[in-house]
Amino acid sequence: MLKQIALTLFTIFGISTVSNAQLAYEIGFIAGPVAFQSDYGQRHDQSTNIGNTGFGIGAVHWINFSSAANGNEYFNEHFKVRSEISFSKTDFQHFGRWVEGKPSVGKEKLKAMSGKTYLLNVGAQLNYSPFMTIHEFEKYVGSFYPYLTVGVMASYYSTQANSSLGQLGIPATTPDKYLVPSEGNQYGFSTESGFTISALLGVGVQYKLDEMNDLLFEIRYQGFNSDWIDGLNPNRDLYKENKAKDSQVWFNFGYSHYLEF
């Protein structure tokens, strides 16, 4: 069954077949909370960071070349090529000083707003361990393999924007800044689906559970080439506080299993 899963992943990510004797394969999964940095709430605010946290899961496949005799020993022993398909869901609300304190019409409109986004990511990463070789890690049960990871994802998103006061798009329910056209959209909010590119940068560690199995933990940043992932994007020319595109930070716990062909 594990071999069938691995071969399916090879097909999905378009990995060319090479002599099995020269490659080592792992498959596994990751799961954990996702802290979304969006236009909902106050930036760098603890209540926003906690309140707009979702959850993600993923299936992962690694290839390393530690058994290959191609003369590039450093690359073979310190790098792994990683393919991944992952999914996350996050619910949004406004938190922080913009909705706290003395009540006002504007604050009530913000409080009434909510949203959600679903994300499907497919892509590849390069894992690099500067401190330990792959063979050293494989020899000793209980050892740690710290690594850095960098990669690119193709991301499909589906987002919704709502208000408990009624349909968004009219002054009675919508804060003024979201009624202004933005980046070709009629308003500064949107309920839509689309594709975008995202970049990944992270740090993690694998723990050698036994000869064929590892546990892992990693923290990684995922930045999107779009500001519509959360469904909000106020006009940047008028609202200068809308500086950054959407991003999220993953806190992943996972498991990997080595395959024998």
Q: What is the pLDDT along the chain (261 residues), one digit of tens a residue?
A: 444 444 444 444 444 444 444 688 999 999 999 999 988 987 777 788 788 899 999 999 999 888 765 556 888 899 999 999 999 999 999 988 878 888 899 999 999 999 999 999 999 999 999 988 998 998 889 999 999 999 999 999 999 999 999 999 999 999 999 999 999 899 999 999 999 999 999 999 999 999 899 999 999 999 999 999 999 999 988 988 888 899 999 999 999 999 975
CA proximity to 232, closest of 177, 167, 155: 177
Chain CA centroid to CA 73, Å = 31
- Distances from the Cα of 124 to the Cα of 215, 235, 252, angstroms: 20, 33, 17
Distance between CA atoms of residues 136 and 129, nearest Å: 12
Distance between CA atoms of residues 113 and 93, nearest Å: 6
First vs last C-alpha separation in the chain: 12
